[in-house]
Amino acid sequence: MTAEPNYAFRQRLDEVHRPHRRDDNAVAAAGEVTIGDGWCIAIPQDASVYLAAVARDLQDYLFTSMGVSVLLVRHPMDETAAKVIRLTVQVGGAASLSVARSYRLQITATRITLCGFDDRGVGQGCYYLEDLMNLREGPFVAVGEQIRAPVFSPRMVHSGWGIDQFPDPHLNAIAHAGFDAVLLFVKGVNRTTTGFLDINDLIFRAASFGLDVYLYSYIISHRHPDDADAESFYESTYGELMRAHAGARGIIFVGESCEFPSHDAHTTQKLRAERTAQDSKPNPGWWPCVDYPQWLNLVKRVIRRYNPEADIVFWTYNWGWAPAADRLALIESLPEDISLQATFEMFENVERRGTPTRCVDYTISFAGPGQYFASEARAAHERGLPLYTMSNSGGRTWDFGIVPYEPVPLQWARRHEALLKAHRDWGLRGLMESHHMGWWPSIVSDLAKWAFWQPATSAEELLPKLACRDFGVAAAGHVLSAWQHWSEAILDYVPTNEDQYGPFRVGPAYPLLFSEDEIVFPSSADGF
């Protein structure tokens, strides 16, 4: 057996429209329309560049996956012309669509009309048509009408192609999966954790696929807001960053990555690099410091000079272990015009078959939410703060970070239901769906896409269809049984630091250890 060349997986990631999905023996059922010869895709005369690209993408899908060749035309056209997929954007006083990226789909025997709240809604509607035909394994869609709207926004993911690397096909796949934003680690203007990157080019290309870009800060804050030169320091860092990349949708702050020399007496009042063996208190990046609101107000003011609409996301990942009183006091004092993010399952104590364990970092062995998240979600909801969570719902956690996705779909469905309940109970609106290790299209991201739109489709309804689509009718029963067993087995997994920070992150090359000696792996000097 010949070994696969390094990075060959990227060729599979780049394949957005899988060839020859059509089952040649399949025929349209009663009440279904067949898209075939003589059909066309029609867009308005004044269609945007993005909308025209969406139409070409649908045209390519029909040709590549379904073996159907259709013409692409612009309005106005003969309204009596038969067999047309008409793509349009809501205008005027139509009130049926009120949510960004929502769309109305009307299907008759000779016409499919897809009307979006905005251009991106049209794009999501076209991807939905693709999903329907993929499940049917043919160019068949049912007659009827429906309005669909997303539950969560933003839905953010890191690159699965390579850290901070987003070629166009990967951006296209991310958009097809229902996400609406990508995450980019930044250390300065056009600088990421892997070196130079033309960030404005990424912002431009991402927008061409209906995606926003969030900057995840790795810029260390060397000044306290009380310092005399604090304003000029932050102008030279975050001011320069946002002036150069004003098209970014927002910026994410997490304690360990953007730490600052807090004056909070619970901490060392130092940066991590200044810590000594004599220090017993946590560094400011690991404690809910009372002066974080002061720091956020200063940084926010600098950033919004150049992007007044920037989404400032403050993530409490590093101190979910701290006493609730200190954490919630911080939330009570946060600025009103920022977004709060809390990790969904982290720090929870769980008992399984009499064995206690604790959720470290990110795991799907516990569906969530944890008490840390729930406490902060309630506090954010009471204050009216936009609430986000780190959910891993792209399909990967740090349980088995080296695998493309964790095939425990029923457990993922439980996570999805818990996220939707948090949306109903506490107004959860945004998701970070992967971290560091990226995202891979899979049954898990399929489940999330169908669950996170209204009207939702349950896992019980969708999983048999996915099994038939990907493995064939004859094998579907065996696949469903395997998924059931794996979804039960993951509940017995014990997430530990030793595993998550070692072999499950690095892979089988991780050395076998019988001590707590730290292993240092080679990496670039500019790495993370």
* 50 and 198 in a common domain: no
Residue 521 lies inside a defined structural domain of this protein: no
* 212 and 103 in a common domain: no
Residue that finishes a domain, picked among 98, 116, 149: 149
Q: Is pLDDT larger for residue 55 or for residue 94?
A: 55
* 169 and 145 in a common domain: no
Residue 125 lies inside a defined structural domain of this protein: yes
* 400 and 354 in a common domain: yes
Bridge pairing between strands 32-34 and 140-142: antiparallel
How far apart, in whole angstroms, are the C-alpha atoms of residue 302 and residue 236? 10
Residue 525 lies inside a defined structural domain of this protein: no
* Chain centre to alpha carbon of residue 132: 22
Residue 511 lies inside a defined structural domain of this protein: no
483 token code pair: 């998924």
* 145 and 159 in a common domain: no
* 177 and 134 in a common domain: no
Q: How confident is the model at residue 20 (pLDDT cuts 50, 70, 90)?
A: very high
How far apart, in whole angstroms, are the C-alpha atoms of residue 444 and residue 413? 9
Residue that finishes a domain, picked among 132, 149, 166: 149
Residue 519 lies inside a defined structural domain of this protein: no
pLDDT 10s digits, 176-232: 999 999 999 999 999 999 999 999 999 999 999 999 999 999 999 999 999 999 999
* 129 and 204 in a common domain: no
**Residues ≥6 apart with Cβ < 8 Å to 492:** 352, 353, 365
* 485 and 358 in a common domain: yes
> What are the DSSP calls for 508-527, one per residue?
TTSPP-SS-PPPPPP--TT-
Residue 9 lies inside a defined structural domain of this protein: no
How far apart, in whole angstroms, are the C-alpha atoms of residue 131 and residue 66? 12
Q: Decide if pLDDT at 428 tops 70.
A: yes
* 255 and 137 in a common domain: no
Domain count, the chain: 2
Q: What's the pLDDT at 465?
A: 97
Q: Of 432, 488, 462, nearest to 158 (Cα)?
A: 432
pLDDT 10s digits, 336-376: 999 999 999 999 999 888 888 899 889 999 999 999 999 99
* 122 and 271 in a common domain: no
How far apart, in whole angstroms, are the C-alpha atoms of residue 127 and residue 109? 20
Residue 286 lies inside a defined structural domain of this protein: yes
Residue that finishes a domain, picked among 149, 165, 191: 149
pLDDT 10s digits, 278-302: 999 999 999 999 999 999 999 999 9
Q: How confident is the model at residue 527 (pLDDT cuts 50, 70, 90)?
A: very low
**Residues ≥6 apart with Cβ < 8 Å to 261:** 221, 222, 223, 224, 269, 270, 271, 284
CATH of the domain at 105: 3.30.379.10
Percent of the chain with pLDDT over 90: 84
* 237 and 371 in a common domain: yes
Q: Decide if pLDDT at 522 tops 70.
A: no
Q: How confident is the model at residue 509 (pLDDT cuts 50, 70, 90)?
A: confident
Q: Decide if pLDDT at 77 tops 70.
A: no
Domain coverage including residue 237 = 155-506
* 456 and 325 in a common domain: yes
Residue 425 lies inside a defined structural domain of this protein: yes
